Chains A and B, each alone.
Chain A
């Protein structure tokens, strides 16, 4: 089990953060997600055997946002 925090830019309102929250939650291997558009981050707990952190970055960018920073917590 791994937890990573992604710094997400481009979130303007709660609509954006909900979009990210819903999409990430549905991904296989994700245990817990929390997204804050005020603080510009998404914290994701996931099973590293099932999914890699790169996939989260790709998905968030597909939705129209930008990930420039991430770290393990």
Chain B
């Protein structure tokens, strides 16, 4: 049995691991899974399990479990967002008030500042103080640890100064308070995180708008007393063996076998083949493929939610949740910086206490001021500000990026995998041209007649011929028409009989073909005959997108390029040769694509179809065409809205530039503070220069402004 909940309060993969560990301790669970992206906890259990116990355990480590109610959750989300906004704005306003009050003289000023700073430190800064504790117990540190150390040092020292002024003066400790530092440190970092979340939400919202409603119901047919009854049944209630009918243009709802009807079904999103496949009695159907020109009645082979399509979707969900999160650059630097700062603080303390022979109190005060000054609050802004500007700029250019970590990953890419159909090619068959046979004269009237005939057929090859001819011809009215599925069509106009179809069909009508040379072609050949005499052929293939070659040329030097497809060898090789891509992988199933992607590290995949979704989900960086299937878009990190590859080049260049800016930001956020460490440590005390709060604030202000200003340079990209 399965059970799922929504999890509230997760911020990173450390939270996800903690929850998984906690829940796994409970007896009777077969599997426990935490999905960070979807914010879901899923468990499988054999017998009755106490759900309240699970909820309590998760609550005890600081997270809340909520039931997956449809209407409810969207309302909760709205109020949660407002609350988050309110919290951030309050913290910033409080920080500004505390800072502003320093300039006003009034009685008991310091007590007021203490009063205001306490909620700042304990409420707004709660998660950072937790990080300090985690550091003290487990030794792991991140940017949050640094923030916690700095704000706590500032707060405790300042509180001590206010509450025990006699001890301070007796020991000649610097009587300075750093309350505004507490405010700024926390408010800046909160603001940075807020910016990051906002950028992510914006991308997600734009993507949700792209999704069309896919059919959630199927038309089930029952024979009751010779009367045929149709009922609509939800997909997850469809059972194996049910008889289902689909009309032209509808999505096949579940895997099955055809009982009645004949139709061309578009399986390109599943297999990559751009030309629809004829399905007739006993043919297999795949859920997710799109029915063509005729009705089909088929028997469901599996239950509604067990189709191959569902297998792929759950694979995608699992892949996304077990994806390792890259350690962000800011955290990497912090994990080195924290021990370094602590070491310097201890050295400072030791120097004053043991060597300089100063009192414990004074030595401690220098230690504290080192911790305060070394806390680079701009560090929390370094990455988010750059990410926000970069993703904003990208979306203005039609590239939707789901988060900052994708930019970091993109800068390390070595191998790029391109799906063929719909990514490098247009995704549907188009007429390349018409070739006359041996001096056959074809009149405009002939083509008008051919147009009339192909307009009568819904076959995709007929449609491509129709699109091709309609530019210069007008379809004639027909006297008769006949279509043989899988073979061709014929029609009569004013006693002239035209036949349009494949070689097999025309041969079966005794039309002379052998004396004509029909050359080999990687796409489809459609022959046209008039009154049993061959006129010529239409050459039809899935065209390569016009800018594909240019983009491949641009990328060849820097990256290893691959083409991967489920389509047949000749078609894939043709495209690869045309574009100059050396690594060719053809006739791959969706899961074979997964194995291929996994075999190369630092990979990027570009795709559009449902059959690409599993591979997109495991790729380090995944890019979906906005013109492709919803499943591919939702499995991907980046969406190219207009479905054009020129944006890929732009995205890669933008990522590299953004990483450069982030590194510059990190440097700037550290340098000002680092330069002031000697001052904080008391090196210049003989010159009566020590760290006054105004230096700390100044350092924070300058570094933050530099970081923001530097990030804004990305606006020009």
Binding site for B on A (CB under 8 A): 10, 12-13, 15, 48, 52-54, 57, 61-62, 64-66, 68-72
Q: How far is the CB of A6 from chain B (nearest CB, A)?
A: 9
Q: Are A65 and B295 in contact (CB under 8 A)?
A: yes
**A71–B480 contact, CB under 8 A?**
yes
Interface pair A69/B482, CB less than 8 Å apart: yes
Q: Which of B226, B262, B477 contacts A48 (CB 8 A)?
A: B477
Q: Closest Cβ of chain B: how far from A5's Cβ, in Å?
A: 9
A53 CB contacts on chain B under 8 angstroms: 477-478
What 10 A-B pairs come out closest when comparing CB atoms?
A: A71-B480, A66-B294, A72-B479, A69-B482, A68-B483, A70-B481, A64-B295, A64-B247, A12-B228, A10-B295
Decide: A72 and B480 in contact? CB cutoff 8 A: yes
Which residues between 204 and 259 of chain B lie within 8 Å of chain A, taking CB atoms?
226-228, 245, 247-248
Given A15-B227, A70-B480, A72-B479: A61 touches B293 (CB 8 Å cut-off): yes
Q: Are B245 and A64 in contact (CB under 8 A)?
A: yes
Q: Which of A12, A48, A65, A69 is close to B481, meaning CB atoms less than 8 Å apart?
A: A69
Beyond the given pairs A13-B227, A71-B479, 10 more chain A to chain B contacts, judged by CB atoms under 8 angstroms and listed by A's residue number, are A10-B261, A13-B228, A54-B456, A61-B248, A61-B293, A62-B248, A64-B295, A66-B261, A66-B294, A70-B481
Contact B481 A15 (CB under 8 A): no
Give chain B nearest CB distance to A55 CB in angstroms: 11
A57-B293 in contact (CB<8A): no
| A57/B262 in contact, CB under 8 A | no
Chain B residues within 8 Å of A, Cβ to Cβ: 226-228, 245, 247-248, 261-262, 293-295, 455-456, 458, 477-485, 492
Q: Could you show 27 A-B contacts with beta carbons less than 8 Å apart? A: A10-B295, A15-B227, A15-B228, A48-B477, A52-B477, A53-B477, A54-B456, A57-B456, A61-B248, A61-B294, A61-B458, A62-B247, A64-B245, A64-B247, A64-B295, A65-B295, A66-B261, A68-B482, A68-B483, A68-B484, A68-B485, A69-B482, A70-B481, A70-B482, A71-B479, A71-B492, A72-B479
Q: Which of B262, B455, B456 interacts with A66 by CB under 8 Å?
A: B262
* B330 shortest CB reach to chain A, Å: 58
Q: Please give the distance in Å from A54's CB to the nearest CB on chain B.
A: 6
A73 CA to B247 CA, complexed, in Å: 29
- Residues in A with CB closer than 8 Å to B247 are 62, 64
- For A69, the chain B residues whose CB sits under 8 A away are 481-483
A49 → B minimal CB distance (Å):
11
A57 contacts across to B, CB distance below 8 A: 456
Residue of B nearest to A72 (CB): B479
Enumerate chain B residues within 8 angstroms of A54, measured Cβ to Cβ.
Answer: 455-456
Name the prevailing secondary structure of the B interface residues.
loop
C-alpha gap A70/B455 in the complex (Å): 14
CB distance from A66 to the nearest CB of B (A): 4
CB distance from B545 to the nearest CB of A (A): 31
The answer for the CA separation of A54 and B475 in the assembled complex, in Å, is 11
Of residues A15, A69, A70, which shows the largest number of chain B Cβ atoms within 10 Å of its Cβ? A70
- Which residues of B have CB within 8 Å of A15? 227-228
CA distance A27 to B155 in the complex (A): 82
CA distance A64 to B479 in the complex (A): 24
User: Whole-angstrom distance from the CB of A52 to the nearest CB of chain B?
Assistant: 7
Q: How far is the CA of A71 from the CA of B492 in the complex (A)?
A: 9
Report chain B residues within 8 Å CB of A13.
226-228
Least CB distance from B261 to A in Å reads: 7
Q: When chains A and B are docked, how far (Å) is the Cα of A71 from the Cα of B493?
A: 11
Chain B contacts of A65 at CB under 8 A?
A: 295
Minimum Cβ distance to chain A for residue B429 (Å): 21
> In the bound complex, how far is the Cα of B670 from the Cα of A25, in angstroms?
81
What is the CB-to-nearest-CB distance from B87 to chain A, in angstroms, rounded to a whole number? 55
- Residues from chain B with Cβ under 8 Å of A10 in the complex: 261, 295
Q: Which partner residue on chain B sits nearest A71 by CB separation? A: B480
Q: Which residues of B contact A12 (CB under 8 A)?
A: 228
Whole-angstrom distance from the CB of A63 to the nearest CB of chain B? 9
Residue in B closest to A12 when the chains form the complex, CB atoms: B228
The smallest beta-carbon distance between A42 and chain B, in angstroms, is 14
Write the chain A residue with the least CB distance to B246. A64
Shortest beta-carbon distance from A58 to chain B in Å: 9
Which of B245, B455, B477, B485 is the most central at the interface, judged by chain A CB atoms within 10 Å of its CB? B477
Query: Measured between C-beta atoms, what is the minimum distance from A1 to chain B in Å?
Result: 14
Q: Contacts of B492 on A, CB cut-off 8 Å?
A: 71
| Across-interface contacts of B226 in A (CB, < 8 A) | 13
The smallest beta-carbon distance between A29 and chain B, in angstroms, is: 14
Give chain A nearest CB distance to B488 CB in angstroms: 12
* Inter-chain contacts of A52 with B (CB < 8 A): 477
In the bound assembly, the distance between CA atoms of A61 and B249 in angstroms comes to 11
Report Cα–Cα, A65/B247, bound state, in Å. 8
Q: Which residues of B contact A61 (CB under 8 A)?
A: 248, 293-294, 458
Residues of A within 8 A of B248 (CB): 61-62
Closest A residue to B245 by beta carbon equals: A64
Nearest residue (CB) in A for B247 is A64
Shortest Cβ gap from A22 to chain B (Å): 17
Closest to B293 in A: A61
Q: What CA separation (Å) do A68 and B491 show in the bound complex?
A: 11
Min CB distance, B436 to chain A, in Å?
28
User: Measured between alpha carbons, how far is A64 from B249 in the docked complex, in Å?
Assistant: 11
User: In this complex, what residue of A is CB-closest to B219?
Assistant: A64
Cα A33 to Cα B456 with chains together (Å): 21
Q: How many angstroms between the C-alpha atoms of A71 and B482 in the bound complex? A: 9
Q: Please indicate the chain B residues that have their CB under 8 angstroms from the CB of A66 in the complex.
A: 261-262, 294-295
Residues of A within 8 A of B262 (CB): 66
Task: Write out the residue numbers on chain A whose beta carbons fall within 8 Å of the beta carbon of B477.
Answer: 48, 52-53
Task: For B479, list chain A residues within 8 Å (CB).
Answer: 71-72
B662 → chain A, closest Cβ, in Å?
56
Q: How far is the CA of A25 from the CA of B629 in the complex (A)?
A: 39
CA distance A48 to B479 in the complex (A): 12
> Which residue of the partner chain B has the closest CB to A66?
B294
Bound-state CA distance A23–B643 (Å) is 40
Residues on A with beta carbons closer than 8 Å to the beta carbon of B480: 70-72
